Structure formats: C-alpha cells, structure tokens
C-alpha cells in the first residue's frame, strides 16, 4: 500500500517553483528622492541623491524645445493632460540635459514630481516598472536616453506598453520622455533596405516607423552656430566664477572645437571643464 505521507509529485513541483520565484518587490519609498534609476535582476528602483545636471538657464540655443517641454511638464506635474515627448537630432546639443534641467525646475514648485531613468536594454521589463508606478500618489517622468532600434530588435514592442498602454492604458501618473539621434528611432539605411526588399514596402517599416508617431511632442535639436557655442561657454564661466577675457576665450574655444571636428553643447562643456581645471576652479 502506498505511503499516504508521500506528497503528490505536482505539489512538490509547485512548491519548488515557488521557492525559486523571486519575492514580490516591496513598494518603493518614493519620498526618499526625486530621482530614481530602474534596475533589473533583481528588479529595484534605486534613489539618486544627486542628479548630474546643469541649470536650465545655461542651456543655449534650444529655446523652442525648452519652452515647449517646460510647459508640457508643468501641465503633467499639475495633474493636467500632457504628451509623451521625443527629443531627436544632433548629438551633444542638450537633449538629455534639458530633460533633467526641466525636472529640477518644475519639482521646485511641484514636489510630487519624480523622474525615473530606464535603460533601453531594460525595456522588456517596463511592464513591471509601470505596475510599481501605477496608483502611486507621485507623478513620474519615465526617461529613456539615447533610444534607437536596429535590425531584428524587438525592444520597440515593449515601448508600446508605455506609449499605448495596452488594455490597461498608460498609467495616468506616468509620461515618457525619450531622446534619440534618429527622428524615427531606426537607421535610415534600415528603412530603405526594408522598403526595397519587402513584398509590401509600406507595411515593412510601418510598425517601427510609426512608433515615433506615438509621441505627442517631437522636439528637434540642431547643430549650434559659433555665436551660440561661445555663448554657452561664457554662460558656464559666469555661473562658476571662471575669469577669462573674451578674446582669449574665443581663440581657445575655436581651437578646441577645431581639434574635435565638431561644435556642440557637449564640446562647449568639455572645453569649459578643461578651462576650469587650468584656472583651479572646482565645479560643484
């Protein structure tokens, strides 16, 4: 007669799977900080004590994008309708800096506003992240920097959970701000290749290209001219107390950009960091 004390095999399997499953993620303390970074394996939201950012007033040459995104963020922070935003265009022209600077500006008057950075590689986990944010009393800017998709990259499907929300809909307290060097989030040659090789060229790329259409705001960033480049550096000098005459600054800054083969906000900051170091000024 079989031993009645022996467990059912299915019960043992179920118990083993339960032991292997990760413990449910505890509700984060969203009052611990105003900025968080999302990590996986295991899932967790880590607070950021000090965000690396510049003051909004120091961002030169992006006036239209600044004003549009600032107004959209103020609406969102106040509980009013707001759009997801895609910032695309020239490298080093302050796309991610603008997002962080606007968050700092708006959180000063809307204390419940939070920013959560999500890496592109972690997009498949975005559903779990949204479940944590959904229903919280705070309002969240979900920030994905340098977003783009290559050949056979299915990560864009996960992004639709944020933009469209599926059957549940996007949480009312979440908005997505993304930056990309590509207007349509995919390489131009990839678009042309798929159009040229597909039986139905329009359908071949429609799913991926239309992803960018799901952002309510498209904000373009374009290369700066020399006057804007020099104005950026002068603004940094004035803000941090670095003394240098205009003629010397102009000569050094133009030589610096020539060695880099580019002129952008990032190049302006890199020159300023070098200048501040030579002048013995500590940046805080």
Q: How would you write the pLDDT of the chain (284 residues) with one tens digit per residue?
A: 455 444 677 666 666 555 554 555 566 899 999 999 999 989 999 999 999 999 999 999 999 999 999 999 999 999 999 999 999 988 899 999 999 999 999 999 999 999 999 998 888 898 899 999 998 999 999 999 988 776 556 666 777 767 776 667 789 999 999 998 877 666 555 544 555 555 455 555 566 666 777 889 999 999 999 999 999 999 999 999 999 999 999 999 999 999 998 899 999 999 999 999 999 999 97
Q: Could you tell me which of 228, 43, 222, 236 has the C-alpha nearest to residue 132?
A: 43
Secondary structure (3-state) at 45: strand
- Please work out, in degrees rounded to the nearest 5, the angle formed at the alpha carbon of residue 160 by the alpha carbons of 46 and 27: 30
Enumerate residues 6+ apart whose C-beta is below 8 A from 44: 25, 38
Q: Is residue 66 within 8 Å of 93, Cβ to Cβ?
A: no
pTM tops 0.75, yes or no: yes
> What proportions of the chain, in percent to the nearest 5, are helix, strand and coil?
45, 15, 40
Are 109 and 34 in contact by the 8 Å Cβ rule? The answer is no
CB 232 within 8 A of CB 60: yes
């Amino acid at each position: 007669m079989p031993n009645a004390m022996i467990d059912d095999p299915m019960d043992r399997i179920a118990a083993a799977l339960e032991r292997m499953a990760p413990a449910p993620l505890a509700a984060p303390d969203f009052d611990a900080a105003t900025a968080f970074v999302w990590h996986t394996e295991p899932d967790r939201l880590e607070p950021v004590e000090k965000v690396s950012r510049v003051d909004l007033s120091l961002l030169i040459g992006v006036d239209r994008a600044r004003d549009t995104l600032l107004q959209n963020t103020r609406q969102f922070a106040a509980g009013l309708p707001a759009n997801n935003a895609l910032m695309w265009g020239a490298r080093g022209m302050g796309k991610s800096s603008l997002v962080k600077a606007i968050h700092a500006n708006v959180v000063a008057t809307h204390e419940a506003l939070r920013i959560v950075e999500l890496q592109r590689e972690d997009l498949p986990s975005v559903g779990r992240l949204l479940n944590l944010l959904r229903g919280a009393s705070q309002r969240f800017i979900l920030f994905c920097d340098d977003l783009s998709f290559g050949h056979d990259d299915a990560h864009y499907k996960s992004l639709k959970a944020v933009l469209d929300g599926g059957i549940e809909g996007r949480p009312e307290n979440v908005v997505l701000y993304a930056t990309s060097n590509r207007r349509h989030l995919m390489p131009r040659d990839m678009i042309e290749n798929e159009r040229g090789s597909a039986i139905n060229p329009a359908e071949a790329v429609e799913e991926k290209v239309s992803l960018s259409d799901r952002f309510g705001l498209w904000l373009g960033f374009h290369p700066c001219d020399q006057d804007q480049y020099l104005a950026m550096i002068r603004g940094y000098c004035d803000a941090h107390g670095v003394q240098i005459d205009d003629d010397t600054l102009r000569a050094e800054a133009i030589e610096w950009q020539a060695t880099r083969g580019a002129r952008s906000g990032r190049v302006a900051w890199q020159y300023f960091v070098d200048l501040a170091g030579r002048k013995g000024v500590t940046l805080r």
